[in-house]
Homo-oligomer: A and B are copies of this chain.
Amino acid sequence: MSLIDLSKHVALGIDIGGTNTKFGVVNHRGEVLEKGYLKTDEYEKVEDFIDALYEKIQPLIESHGKEKNFDGIGVGAPNGNYYKGTIEQAPNLPWKGVVPFGEMMTAKFNMPCTVTNDANAAAFGEMLFGAARGMKDFIMITLGTGVGSGIVASGKLIYGHDGFAGELGHTIVKPGGRKHWSTGSEGSLEAYASATGIAITAKKMRAEFPESMLSQFPEEEINSKTVYECAVKGDPISIEVFRYTGQKLGEALANFVMFSSPEAILLFGGVIKAGDFILKPTKLHMERNLLPIFRNKVKLVFSELNEADAAILGASALVWEK
């Protein structure tokens, strides 16, 4: 028997995305006891958003609070800053400038609140409850609408001097390459390996090779899902879209490996539904660009967590890290 009865301790995990915010009550085993969501983009003012969250969550706290102790709140949000508890200049959220989100949550809920960026939260969830259990050195790459990352070294997330470390989606993989639709940078990983980037590649290849199955879809339906459907049916152009994406991703991963020499790289997010179509070329080009001392040592694996729960789990895990 332990001195503290962990089974009575729970945390609140909140994952804030541009469209939806998901929340859950999580225990030490990583079980989501309760969950719910609300629409982020319906709240122009962050105060109204926090009030709405409170309305939804307070009943859960009250019902579980009879037998459980709420240890705190963990929040994963785009541009969430771990040191300051702020959300800063997040391009996809309705609240502009520097929002002291952690402080505001603590004032409302009367609980400690830890904030970090969404990819860091997912990495943390993976370390405690997912494919990175027991690992001390790994990199998590989230391949969704954008490309995010969380870097763990010696069992700790790397935050950097200002809390903004781990923007690997914005590293340049092809100097002078594809212009990023939002940052304006040329040749960033996100411009190629995000779902957005894959759609751009697919549209270009569809225009160049009209014989591709991709031509059966109208332009606006070309996305990583339709490309995957065509690849499964054997369309060589669609297969090439993922091969090209994997090459760019693999080249980037090789550079990341030579930085922090992780035991594993975890891939997470919608894009990994393409499976081996993307995994195999990624691995090939990663290995090809590594120094011999790093070769055939790094595991390249998909996330094991349910995508819907991972961010909530990771955010809640932040509470117990502190």
CB distance from A240 to the nearest CB of B (A): 18
Contact A172 B254, beta carbon cutoff 8 Å = yes
Interface 9-residue window, one of A198-206, A222-230, A291-299, A300-308: A291-299
The answer to the question of A128 belonging to the interface, with a C-beta cut-off of 8 Å to chain B, is no
Contact B172 A260, beta carbon cutoff 8 Å = no
Contact A261 B293, beta carbon cutoff 8 Å = no
Contact A262 B160, beta carbon cutoff 8 Å = yes
- As for how many copies of this chain the complex holds, the number is 2
Q: Please give, as numbers and ranges, the residues of chain B lying within 8 Å of A291 by CB-CB distance.
A: 167, 170, 183, 185
**A154-189 with Cβ < 8 A to chain B:** 154, 156, 158-168, 170-175, 183, 185
The answer to the question of A89 belonging to the interface, with a C-beta cut-off of 8 Å to chain B, is yes
The answer to the question of A320 belonging to the interface, with a C-beta cut-off of 8 Å to chain B, is no
CB contact between A175 and one of B174, B294, B297 (< 8 Å): that residue:
B174
The answer to the question of A33 belonging to the interface, with a C-beta cut-off of 8 Å to chain B, is no
CB distance from A98 to the nearest CB of B (A): 11
CA distance A8 to B224 in the complex (A): 66
Contact A161 B262, beta carbon cutoff 8 Å = yes
Contact B183 A258, beta carbon cutoff 8 Å = no
CB distance from A158 to the nearest CB of B (A): 5
CB distance from A279 to the nearest CB of B (A): 20
Q: Please give, as numbers and ranges, the residues of chain B lying within 8 Å of A164 by CB-CB distance.
A: 261, 293-294
Residue of B nearest to A173 (CB): B175
If A262-B160, A263-B161 touch, whether A289 touches B255 (CB-CB below 8 Å) is no
CA distance A161 to B262 in the complex (A): 6
Contact A259 B261, beta carbon cutoff 8 Å = no
Contact A162 B256, beta carbon cutoff 8 Å = no
CB contact between A171 and one of B156, B258, B297 (< 8 Å): that residue:
B258
Contact A258 B161, beta carbon cutoff 8 Å = no
The answer to the question of A137 belonging to the interface, with a C-beta cut-off of 8 Å to chain B, is yes
Most B CB contacts (10 A, CB to CB) among A79, A160, A162, A171 go to A160
CB contact between A162 and one of B156, B183, B297 (< 8 Å): that residue:
B297
Contact B171 A255, beta carbon cutoff 8 Å = yes
Contact B263 A168, beta carbon cutoff 8 Å = no
The answer to the question of A151 belonging to the interface, with a C-beta cut-off of 8 Å to chain B, is yes
CB distance from A62 to the nearest CB of B (A): 38
If A289-B172, A291-B183 touch, whether A162 touches B261 (CB-CB below 8 Å) is yes
Most B CB contacts (10 A, CB to CB) among A135, A164, A185, A261 go to A261
Contact B185 A160, beta carbon cutoff 8 Å = no
Query: Can you list 17 pairs linking A and B with CB atoms under 8 Å apart?
Result: A135-B161, A153-B160, A153-B165, A154-B158, A154-B159, A160-B262, A162-B297, A165-B261, A166-B260, A167-B294, A170-B258, A171-B255, A171-B258, A172-B255, A185-B289, A185-B291, A256-B259
List of 4 A-B pairs having minimum Cβ-Cβ separation, nearest first: A160-B261, A165-B261, A161-B263, A137-B161
